[in-house]
Structure 1
Amino acid sequence: MSIDHAQDDNRAPPPEAGRADSRAGSKPVVSVTDVDLNFSGVKALSGVSFDVAENELFAIIGPNGAGKTSIFNVLSGVYRPQVGNVTFLGENLLGRRPHVIAGLGMARTFQNIELFENLDVVDNLMLGRHHHVGYGWPSAVAWVGRARAAEIRNRRRVEEIIDFLEIETYRRMPVGLLPYGIQKRIELGRALAMEPRLLLLDEPVAGMNGEETEDMARFILDIRSELGIPMILVEHDMGLVMDLADRVMAMDFGRPITTGRPAEVQAHPEVIRAYLGTADDTEEDA
């Protein structure tokens, strides 16, 4: 298995080393500074700031409603914050539409699978190559020269991703007939087909059993070590987050509680309170 990638010759260190030095001396791929997001007076995000370095796996955790998906929607251009700034590879993202941001190299998976169920695996992955077409309809109709070369190149990349994610058996099957865990893998593959410079993973193991979760964790580590793609991970599975992430930002009610190494964040008293409550909280609820 091999997927050609612009960063293949500068592969990431093993996860253990990555926890120590993934940010050392590297410029941020994405920076979020003092972002506030309001909806009709309701604060969805308040004072959110973080950055993600090259080859870093940055996780965002928090209870339901903490603002995790809102952050993804700000990054990908679905929402525009009222306050703050967001830059990606040195480009200001505020006011840019989602397809423009995707064209800059930001890819996203979704908590709820967003695949075309009647199309097979190959065709679903080919949809991730739309930014790499590079020819118009006259060339496509004639099916010569530029169009033919681009189609061959794009299909070759898709086959490499199929091999990478170990879904060769399903390549010509309609995705609606495939197991849930395989569909989540195909969703990841479509994002990889874009050749992203940053990958947003929105609850990639939600609804999976233990074996499927282990497989997805392995692929996430492979993306980092073999492709060198930085990632932002939103996930409720704390075991997965603590095993994979270099740094973690904990959120509650739209505001950051703390950011740091996984063990530090896990032990933070405000994080424990947000997830588990305290004796006082329990008495008040009673």
Structure 2
Amino acid sequence: MSAASPVVQLDDVHLSFKGVKAVNGVSLHVEPGELFAIIGPNGAGKTSLFNVISGVYQPQEGRVRFQGQDVLGRKPSDIARRGVARTFQNIALFEHLTVTDNLMLGRHQHIGYGWPSAFAWWGRAKREEIVHRRFCEEIVDFLELEQWRGMPVGLLPYGVQKRVELGRALAMEPKLLLLDEPVAGMNLEETEDMARFVLDIRDELDVPIIMVEHDMGLVMDLADRILVVDFGTPITTGTPDEVQRHPDVIRAYLGQELSS
């Protein structure tokens, strides 16, 4: 792996809810330019790990560092401003707003003008608005959303809505992108499109990614390294080939058919 410092690092993280262990001693690190996947059965603690990284949950033990800085105890808004963006299992878009307007919501943390300037629509507000909309148009082109840019997202196919949510995260200009089940509910064609965009984000935009996903074919094809968790406890971390051959993973999750 790269000799550079990890983008994000978790050390021996423990998170409990009323005595129930959601995360039990998980350590991980993600290198610059890496696509890191977290897999495990439902209830394994995958989304809880995302919530720890993004500041939604505060673990009782352990350390969380982002770009070399301790972020444990920081508010989610502060961690987002530092460059952590995420998508969600369930689509969380504003259905009555257009594709472009939903993307513009991702620019919120980059807006430097106040409401008086915005209300008057002059000076800094107007200049910044032009810059932000131009940035969103680049995302529209990158994710091939041109034909839907002016449509309310509630009228769009499910797979396109998932793409818009990905675009909103990209509008934040992330230094780390958290993808929570990016192809859940998609058909084969939509899954293939999303896989291509995820690789383009890593390779062309040079954004490191942590992905939680149940589609094992997708994970094995895309991920550089994989962490396997079960009931909040880490089983192993390794390359897709190493993970598929690990006996504990085969028994706990993948099944014999994926071990060959």
**TM bucket, shorter chain:** over 0.9
Which has the higher mean CA deviation after the structures are superposed, 86-95 or 75-84?
Answer: 86-95
DSSP-derived class of the 1:188 partner: helix
2:80 counterpart of 1:102:
yes
For residues 71-86 of structure 1, what are the structure 2 equivalents within 5 Å?
Answer: 71-86=49-64
- For 1:24 and 1:222, locate their aligned partners in 2 and report how far apart those are by CA, in whole Å: 20
- Of 205, 208, 228 in structure 1, the residue corresponding to residue 206 of structure 2 is 228
In structure 1, the residue matched to 2:127 is 149
In structure 1, the residue matched to 2:181 is 203
- For 1:60 and 1:277, locate their aligned partners in 2 and report how far apart those are by CA, in whole Å: 17
In structure 2, the residue matched to 1:19 is none
Structure 2 counterpart of 1:200, which letter? L
- For 1:277 and 1:216, locate their aligned partners in 2 and report how far apart those are by CA, in whole Å: 26
DSSP-derived class of the 1:110 partner: coil
Structure 2 counterpart of 1:59, which letter? A
In structure 2, the residue matched to 1:53 is 31
- Of 14, 18, 38 in structure 2, the residue corresponding to residue 40 of structure 1 is 18
- Of 60, 69, 74 in structure 2, the residue corresponding to residue 91 of structure 1 is 69
Structure 2 counterpart of 1:150, which letter? E
For residues 1-286 of structure 1, what are the structure 2 equivalents within 5 Å?
Answer: 23-275=1-253
Post-superposition offset of 1:276: 5.3
Structure 2 counterpart of 1:175, which letter? V
Post-superposition offset of 1:219: 0.2
Gaps of 5+ in 1: 1-22, 279-286
Post-superposition offset of 1:90: 1.7
Post-superposition CA distance 1:227-260 (Å, at most 9, x none): 0000001001111111111100000010110001
Post-superposition offset of 1:89: 0.9
Check 1:86–1:119 CA distance in 2 against 1; reply closer, same or farther (3 A cut). Answer: same
DSSP-derived class of the 2:235 partner: strand
In structure 2, the residue matched to 1:14 is none
Post-superposition offset of 1:24: 2.1
- For 2:54 and 2:254, locate their aligned partners in 1 and report how far apart those are by CA, in whole Å: 31
Post-superposition offset of 1:26: 1.6
- For 1:141 and 1:198, locate their aligned partners in 2 and report how far apart those are by CA, in whole Å: 33
Post-superposition offset of 1:142: 2.1
DSSP-derived class of the 1:166 partner: coil
Matched-pair contact (CA < 8 Å) for 2:5–2:68? no
- For 1:206 and 1:267, locate their aligned partners in 2 and report how far apart those are by CA, in whole Å: 25
Q: Give structure 1 regions of 4+ aligned residues with deviation exceeding 3 angstroms.
A: none
Structure 2 counterpart of 1:267, which letter? R
Post-superposition offset of 1:114: 0.4
- For 2:59 and 2:203, locate their aligned partners in 1 and report how far apart those are by CA, in whole Å: 33
RMSD of aligned Cα (Å): 1.0
- For 2:68 and 2:2, locate their aligned partners in 1 and report how far apart those are by CA, in whole Å: 18
- For 1:62 and 1:140, locate their aligned partners in 2 and report how far apart those are by CA, in whole Å: 46
Structure 1 counterpart of 2:30, which letter? V
Which has the higher mean CA deviation after the structures are superposed, 133-142 or 76-85?
Answer: 133-142
TM score, norm. by length of structure 2: 0.97
Matched-pair contact (CA < 8 Å) for 2:2–2:32? no
Gaps of 5+ in 2: none
